[in-house]
Amino acid sequence: MRKIVQRGLWFEEFETGVVYAHRPGRTITEADNVLFTTLTMNTQALHLDAAFAAETQFGERLVNSMFTLSTLVGLSVAQLTQGTIVANLGFSEIAFPKPLFHGDTFYAETVVTDLRESRSRPGEGIVTFEHTGRNQHGDVVATAIRKTLVRKKPA
């Protein structure tokens, strides 16, 4: 019997310019936000204090942007890097043009913008991802560029 194990893509399987749509999305709950915020010692009232947040321009608590970034990357793992990534090399151009709120559903997509073989690590390559996160209305709520070190397909 043939066996298929879920994994990400080997370096050779990535293509620049391809949009990878990650599904399912993730509906963000109050519990998610409060747990992440308190675990990371982020005492920002915009995330924890409903009365305070009600008096801001947003009128309610915001989802912690670091949770948004983590979820943006996390939604891509099963499709792109599960078991094939060696390391994250860095993040740049991170932006949160609109906030996420409790009850919003978060969707992610990724475009591969650059590929190159590693000059110092044979058997691995560097893949640059451009991640975009949208809410259920299609509004962009997060973007990030991420460089990763990915394994090549075993011989």
Does residue 106 lie in a domain region? Answer: yes
Tokens for 108?
A: 């992610």
> What are the tens digits of pLDDT across the range 10-56?
999 999 999 999 999 999 999 999 999 999 999 999 999 999 999 99
- Across 4-104, the runs of DSSP E, i.e. the strands, are 19-27, 85-95
CATH code of the domain containing 20: 3.10.129.10
Q: How confident is the model at residue 155 (pLDDT cuts 50, 70, 90)?
A: confident
Does residue 112 lie in a domain region? Answer: yes
Task: Report whether 47 contacts 37 (CB < 8 A).
Answer: yes
Does residue 122 lie in a domain region? Answer: yes
| Residue 98 lies in domain | 11-28+75-151
Q: What CA–CA distance (Å, rounded) separates 34 from 42?
A: 10
Does residue 64 lie in a domain region? Answer: no
Q: How confident is the model at residue 99 (pLDDT cuts 50, 70, 90)?
A: very high
Amino acid found at 43: T
Q: How high is the pLDDT of residue 73?
A: 98
Q: What is the pTM of this model?
A: 0.93
Does residue 1 lie in a domain region? Answer: no
